[in-house]
Amino acid sequence: MRKIEISINGVAYPCRQTMGAMLRFKEITGREVTEIVDNAISDMCTYLYCCVKSASQHEGKDFNLSLIDFADSINASDVEEWARTINEDDNNTTEEKGAKKKTSK
């Protein structure tokens, strides 16, 4: 998985899908990440927030924005671009696993 950074108010923050991010999402929404539907921009914004919050905590970077302050600092195209990036990474990982299985036989 490549390193993703999100720029908010001129500051770059790390962003990774982690178990912590998934747990944060569940705490905030009461639902699992797997329940996010493709066109649910508010869910994707919330999950992006959780990914940034967890990755920042892991790397020791201060990230003190609330979910609402975070949402006020980004726009829908930022969320859509991030969603495309993580979907590309997921697709590449799946393809790599399939290629490894074929060559290991």
What is the DSSP code string of 4-59? EEEEETTEEEEE---HHHHHHHHHHHSS-GGG--TT-HHHHHHHHHHHHHHHHHHH
More confident of the two residues 56 and 99: 56
**What integer is the mean pLDDT of 30-38?**
93
- pLDDT tens figures, 36-77: 988 799 999 999 999 999 999 999 999 999 999 999 999 999
Q: Residue 94 above 60 pLDDT? A: no
Buried b (16+ CB within 10 A) or exposed e, 80-103: eebbeebeeeeeeeeeeeeeeeee
For the chain, give the mean pLDDT. Answer: 87
Of the candidates 27, 25, 68, the residue with the CA atom closest to the CA atom of residue 50: 25
Q: What is the pLDDT of residue 43?
A: 95
Q: How far is it, in rounded angstroms, from Cα 64 to Cα 8?
A: 12
Q: Residue 5 above 80 pLDDT? A: yes
Q: How far is it, in rounded angstroms, from Cα 63 to Cα 52?
A: 8
Residue 30: both structure tokens together? 């009461």
